[in-house]
Amino acid sequence: MQKRFGKKEALLQAAMEEFSLQYYDQASLNTILQHSGVGKGNFYYHFKNKEQLYEAVAVLLAQKKLQFFSARPEAAEAESLPLFAKFRLLGELSELFTCSDPVIEGLIFHITTEPSAAARRISERALGSESRSYFLDLVEDARREDQIRSDIPADFEAELLGFFFSSFARAFGTVDAEGHLDTETILQKFSWYMDVIERGMKA
């Protein structure tokens, strides 16, 4: 059992690396097998196909992000913060997570900018409705505290917050001379981004 478990871990690591470099349709299963050192027979023991492997990678990415958050003491303070302060803190932690490892960086970029609608559905299925319900809970809590306007449907506000949260890296990711995300610049831009979300652009 341990040997088989090790092969699955090797497949997932190789898949993360491949999907960090290629979009779903361009990613090569043969490359993943070659880099993992796992044969096709063992691959099909663990996964039915490339689609199921991609879904498992999305789940693993979410688990790694949760582990990263859990290790940060400031994340525990988020629950007691007002909406926009909470949103700002979680966004900063998300950007730090994205920049924490080149494979994670590339994987998040390719998942969030994935051109294939079918591949997007796979990652959305892997993540489920948790993120949507999370943002809706944030909005409803903020409305009860009169932190945000209540003349707009709560589900629309939740969708908007989710869009803001997921779109920042794609819109404003900044790479350094070596092609890696420039953490300092990204966090500065995120601070400006949050200022505009919270207060608008009006002077």
Q: What is the pTM of this model?
A: 0.77
Question: What CATH number corresponds to the domain at position 63?
Answer: 1.10.357.10
Please report whether residue 124 resides in a domain. yes
Q: Which of 106, 109, 105, 111 is nearest to 127 (CA)?
A: 111
The burial class, CB within 10 Å (0-12 / 13-18 / 19+), for 160 is middle
Q: Is 38 exposed, middle or buried (0-12, 13-18, 19+ CB in 10 A)?
A: buried
In a domain, 152, yes or no: yes
Q: How many residues does the chain have?
A: 203
Model pLDDT, residue 130: 56
Amino acid at 46: H
Please report whether residue 26 resides in a domain: no
Please indicate, yes or no, if residue 50 is contained in any of the structural domains: no
- Across the chain, which has 203 residues, the per-10-residue mean pLDDT values are 69 96 96 95 94 94 89 85 89 86 89 89 74 83 91 91 75 62 80 89 83
What the block records as the tokens of 73 is 């003491």
Q: Which domain holds residue 149?
A: 57-199
Question: Dmax of the chain from CA atoms?
Answer: 63
Q: pLDDT at position 44, please?
A: 94
- What b/e sequence results for 57-88 when a residue is b if at least 16 CB atoms lie within 10 Å of its CB, and e otherwise? bbbbbbebbeebbeeeeeeeebeeeebbebbb
Assess if residue 76 is contained within a domain: yes
Number of domains forming the structure of the chain: 1
> 8 in a domain, yes or no?
no
Contact status, residue 46 vs residue 7, Cβ threshold 8 Å: yes
In a domain, 29, yes or no: no
